[in-house]
Amino acid sequence: MFLTYLEAIRQGIWEEMERDPTVFCLGEDIGVYGGAFKVTDGFIDRFGPESVIDTPIAESAIVGAAFGASLTGMRPVAEFQFMDFIGCAFNQISNMVAKTHYLWGAPVPLVLRGPSGGYVHGGPFHSQNPEMWFVHNPGLKVICPATPYDAKGLIKSAIRDNNPCVFFEHKYLYRRIKEEVPAEDYVVPIGKARVAREGRHLSIITYAAMVHTALEAAETLSEEGIGLEIVDLRTVAPLDREAIAETVKKTNKVIILHEHSRTGGLAGEIAAIINEEAFDSLDGPIIRIAGLDSAIPFSPPQEQYYLPKVEDVVREARRLKAY
Amino acid sequence: MGNKKTKSRQSSNGNRVGTGALARPAERSSTKGSHSADRNLRTYSIPDYRLEHPDFTVRQVTEKDKYGHDHVRFEVEGNLDAPVPPIRDSKYLDKRQAIEIYRWMLLNRKMETALENLYKQGKVVGGVYFGLGQEACSCASAYALDRDDWFAPMIRNQGSMLVRGFGARDIMMQYMAKAGSPTRGRNATAHFGDIEKRNMVSPISMLGDLIPVMAGVALGARLQGRNLAVMTYIGDGGQSTGVTYEGINFAAVQNLGLVLFVESNLWAYSTPSEMQYRCTDLAERAIGYGIPGVIVDGTDACQVYDAAHEAVERAHRGEGPTMIEAKMMRMKGHAIHDAADYVPKPLFEFWKKRDPIARFENYVVREKKWLTPKENQDLIAGVEAEIEAEREIAVNSPMPTPESAEGGVFCENGCHEIKPKYGMPKVKKGTAYKATEAAVHLK
């Protein structure tokens, strides 16, 4: 099947709900309307209003209710209309959901999912990539797929996982990326990166929409004889330390690329992992390409300035290659 | 919404018509033929089970000390000499049940006295939180739950945990951070849970978050075909949080069997309820949620039980949430470090006369004569012996090893098998998958 990124997620949740009656969805406008981005379009007709619940605009209640239901053995999939709004439920996620298994031993099989990311002129409250708020919360798995195949395989893994998973869908990719996805059931393991493109001169470690930015840059760079290796993390917590070390040991030069703000961003953590696992393999400085340390501005020229671009990757790759 | 069968129309005060004593039709002040202004004026009523209505307020006053410096303190004004009312006979409790509740209350208090002593001996890590003066609310409420129902205590509801089957040693070991505590040393106080046997959700220190969680427990159970009562508590301070609103509203909209005790114990740490909210009684907020609300005297175990029982029955019938405001006073500081000097002394004297255990003892022994003085003495001695035995076990149990801080962050390698607790939800037969062609936000 040739599926968009959005359709792959939609199909993944649909198939899990058909497979396992303990899976149900809740969120704002997900039922009759089918969700702001239509990820759950048609679900309420197929699975009924008991299992596809339109909630009040109350993110803490959505997470709290999902958590409570998970304690009875259900597998809730809660949608955030935009991942920007997940901050409203932060205490519930950080102090209730994430700490439960460690503190009192109850498993929490739930998925918190929704659209994140920029490049769509959504403005400061509809463009954020707040994954780092959760990476720094032990007890959560944080997933950020880049392709339809991974999005479907990972949403299925997240639903089947016995732990709370925060699933960031990149809204820029929703209907822009299409690929062939197997018709039969499959999963993609959480916590495993993949090499999106092999190369021998330098590595880019990235995830989500930035994978496609890196792939585009790699085309330009290959014409100049620079072989870019692209590691798509797929999961940002837990990080695939082995895959990070492996690519650095292979190319000896590394760029870390992410969309969210630079300070306190994932690149800092990955640089520390490289320091711990592959310091002797480095032949150049670790380079970070990231969003600005500001809110994401609305106006298209400003937004473009804020966000990492193909030319940023090309420029930094040339600089690092020459180092 | 998953509640088609049970959802009934609500009368304008939020109380459903004809579903028991809690749900009385609205009393309208206006009648036909009065002025149009009156017809437009809606008034509501909240059932009040109390036999007295304490009438005083606390306010801040600024005084000059002997150096002429301003000094702000709390002052109470009102009728503090009112006689103590009798216990209101329960509509539901029989002799055996009343004696059991009395015993739980004693166990609750004597356990906390033992904890206070353990603290003074330096055996407690951190502070101790007391439910002194609130034992009737904790014990008689939890006593109204059926075995399959769920609950989530707050820090002062240690009595509820005993009623639901935890041992005093569990709570003592939590306070002493022992390896054998329910959280194996990882958390303190009442902060533990059990989803297997006792159906208890662990509280967290942030207030109000348990309310949507308990609504979710009821939602999960309903998807599995069961209408359960899910009981939790919130204080007059904790109810100020936004998540409290979100949680009650979610339970109301989804018609879930939440039984919410609002423990109006007058002090949120050092802040009096007068500075926490503006309405007269917090139960009035039920009107805004469209659910039944009721007021009870939190120092009267019979009133607490009756209101809890009726709310639990409503929940089991699938009729939705109930808010019960229990009025009483927190008779110690926020925790053991806090001498509560900010509380005007006459307030302590007023509420000390309304001690829930002394009142219930008088009711059971002298008024009802359900226990002879000798039987009462034996019962008290039995509770003391039980606490002493539990204390002994808790004190002599080991501390955790340092390395036991590691592990268990995730459920992995088959540490839990997850299955629906009350049965597999029914699968709706439906159409095959079809791709969406809908329009999209932010193309």
pLDDT (0 to 100) of residue B441 = 59
Q: Residue B429 has what DSSP assignment?
A: P
Asked whether the predicted pLDDT for residue A40 surpasses 90, the reply is: yes
Nearest to A91 among B206, B416, B441 (CB): B206
Residue type, A234: R
Residue A83: count of CB within 10 angstroms of its CB: 27
Q: Per CATH, is B75-401 categorized as 3.30.420.40?
A: no
Nearest CA in chain B to A19: B427
- Please report, for the domain that includes residue A285, its CATH number: 3.40.50.920
Nearest CA in chain A to B185: A103
Grade residue B164 by pLDDT with cuts at 50, 70 and 90: very high
pLDDT above 90: percentage of residues in chain A:
100
- Closest to A205 in 3D by CA, of A271, A117, A264: A271
Both A175 and A234 in one domain: the answer is no
Q: What is the DSSP string of B46-81?
A: --B--S---EEEEEEEEEE-TTS-EEEEEEEEEE--
Both A46 and A164 in one domain: the answer is yes
Region A92-113 average pLDDT: 98
Residue type, A319: R
Extract the tokens encoding B86: 């009798």
Both A165 and A211 in one domain: the answer is no
Q: Residue B353 has what DSSP assignment?
A: T
Residue to test with chain B: of A44, A71, A173, most B Cβ within 10 A: A71
pLDDT (0 to 100) of residue B147 = 96
Region A27-36 average pLDDT: 97
Task: Tell me how far apart the alpha carbons of residues A212 and A64 are, in angstroms, rounded to a whole number.
Answer: 35
pLDDT (0 to 100) of residue B16 = 38
Task: Tell me how far apart the alpha carbons of residues A297 and A167 are, in angstroms, rounded to a whole number.
Answer: 24
A41-85 per-position pLDDT tens digit: 999 999 999 999 999 999 999 999 999 999 999 999 999 999 999
Both A21 and A97 in one domain: the answer is yes
Which phi and psi (to 5°) does residue B251 adopt? -60, -40
pLDDT (0 to 100) of residue B169 = 98
pLDDT (0 to 100) of residue B439 = 58
Residues of B belonging to the active site: 330, 334, 342
Question: Can the peptide bond before residue A238 be classed as cis, meaning omega within 30 degrees of 0?
Answer: yes
Grade residue B440 by pLDDT with cuts at 50, 70 and 90: low
Class of residue B83 by CB neighbours under 10 A (exposed 0-12, middle 13-18, buried 19+): exposed
Asked whether the predicted pLDDT for residue B2 surpasses 80, the reply is: no
pLDDT (0 to 100) of residue B442 = 59
Asked whether the predicted pLDDT for residue B392 surpasses 80, the reply is: yes
Class of residue A184 by CB neighbours under 10 A (exposed 0-12, middle 13-18, buried 19+): exposed
A152-194 per-position pLDDT tens digit: 999 999 999 999 999 999 999 999 999 999 999 999 999 999 9
Q: Are strands B271-272 and B267-268 parallel, antiparallel or unpaired?
A: antiparallel
Residue type, B426: K
Min mean pLDDT across A259-268, B29-38, B257-266, B289-298 is at: B29-38
Both A126 and A271 in one domain: the answer is no
Task: Tell me how far apart the alpha carbons of residues B222 and B425 are, in angstroms, rounded to a whole number.
Answer: 9
Element (H, E) at A94: none
Asked whether the predicted pLDDT for residue B438 surpasses 90, the reply is: no
pLDDT (0 to 100) of residue B104 = 98
A188-213 per-position pLDDT tens digit: 999 999 999 999 999 999 999 999 99
Helix (H, G, I), strand (E, B) or coil at A285: coil
Both A30 and A150 in one domain: the answer is yes
> ipTM of the predicted structure?
0.97
Task: Tell me how far apart the alpha carbons of residues A313 and B345 are, in angstroms, rounded to a whole number.
Answer: 70
Q: Is residue A187 part of a domain?
A: no
Asked whether the predicted pLDDT for residue B13 surpasses 80, the reply is: no
Residue type, B294: V
Element (H, E) at B5: none
Residues 209-248 of B with CB under 8 A from A: 209-221, 223-224, 230, 242-243, 246-247
Considering the candidates A121, A126, A136, A260, report the single residue annotated as catalytic. A126
Nearest to A96 among B204, B242, B250 (CB): B204
Min mean pLDDT across A71-75, B151-155, B179-183, B438-442 is at: B438-442
The average confidence (pLDDT) of chain B is: 91
Task: Tell me how far apart the alpha carbons of residues A17 and B223 are, in angstroms, rounded to a whole number.
Answer: 13
Helix (H, G, I), strand (E, B) or coil at B315: helix
Q: Is residue A185 part of a domain?
A: no
Both A6 and A114 in one domain: the answer is yes
Whether residue B242 and residue A96 make contact (CB cut-off 8 A), yes or no, is: no
Whether residue A36 and residue B247 make contact (CB cut-off 8 A), yes or no, is: no
A239-258 per-position pLDDT tens digit: 999 999 999 999 999 999 99
The average confidence (pLDDT) of chain A is: 98
- Which residue is it, tokens 């209505």? B53
Q: Read off the pTM.
A: 0.94
Q: A162 Cβ partners below 8 Å, 6+ apart?
A: A107, A108, A109, B410, B411, B412, B416, B418
Both A210 and A314 in one domain: the answer is yes
- Please report, for the domain that includes residue A80, its CATH number: 3.40.50.970
Last residue of a domain, one of A180, A203, A220: A180
Both A116 and A46 in one domain: the answer is yes
Helix (H, G, I), strand (E, B) or coil at B394: helix
Q: Are strands A194-197 and A228-232 parallel, antiparallel or unpaired?
A: antiparallel
Asked whether the predicted pLDDT for residue B6 surpasses 60, the reply is: no
Contact A221, A228 (CB under 8 A): yes
Whether residue A95 and residue B204 make contact (CB cut-off 8 A), yes or no, is: yes
Both A128 and A26 in one domain: the answer is yes
Both A295 and A226 in one domain: the answer is yes
Contact A95, A129 (CB under 8 A): no
pLDDT (0 to 100) of residue B22 = 47
Whether residue A49 and residue B412 make contact (CB cut-off 8 A), yes or no, is: no
Asked whether the predicted pLDDT for residue A302 surpasses 80, the reply is: yes
Domain hosting A48: range is: 2-180
Helix (H, G, I), strand (E, B) or coil at A166: strand
Residue A169: count of CB within 10 angstroms of its CB: 26
Both A260 and A175 in one domain: the answer is no
Region B265-269 average pLDDT: 97
Last residue of a domain, one of A180, A202, A219: A180
**The total number of structural domains that make up chain A:** 2
Partnered with residue B295 across adjacent β-strands are B48, B325
Nearest CA in chain B to A139: B409
Element (H, E) at B383: helix B373-395
Residue type, B408: G
Q: Is residue A236 part of a domain?
A: yes
Asked whether the predicted pLDDT for residue A38 surpasses 50, the reply is: yes
- Closest to B215 in 3D by CA, of A66, A79, A65, A70: A65
Domain boundaries along the sequence of chain B: 75-401
B280-315 per-position pLDDT tens digit: 999 999 999 999 999 999 999 999 999 999 999 999
Q: Is residue A186 part of a domain?
A: no
